[in-house]
Amino acid sequence: MDALHANDIAALLDSAGVCIRSGHHCTQSLHRHYGLASPARASLGFTTTPEKLDRFAEALEGTIGFLREHS
């Protein structure tokens, strides 16, 4: 997803009811070292169900497809 910005991914997932984090996550120097703009991450916990993972995967696929088509 090199050409897609993490904030765009996060915003579209949020509109689909899926929350992730985007930004530097307090590691700006590491991102500069590796030449990364901004990552996006999903956090899993004890309450994460297989159904939630499926919903996330479907929303992420749709988001990536939409951004690639309209970018």
Does 26 participate in catalysis according to the annotation?
Answer: yes
21-22 and 40-41 beta bridge pairing: antiparallel
Active-site residue, from 2, 3, 17, 26: 26
Q: What angle do CA 37, 39, 44 make, to 5 degrees?
A: 175
> How many other CB atoms are there within 10 angstroms of residue 16's CB atom?
14
Residues marked as catalytic:
26
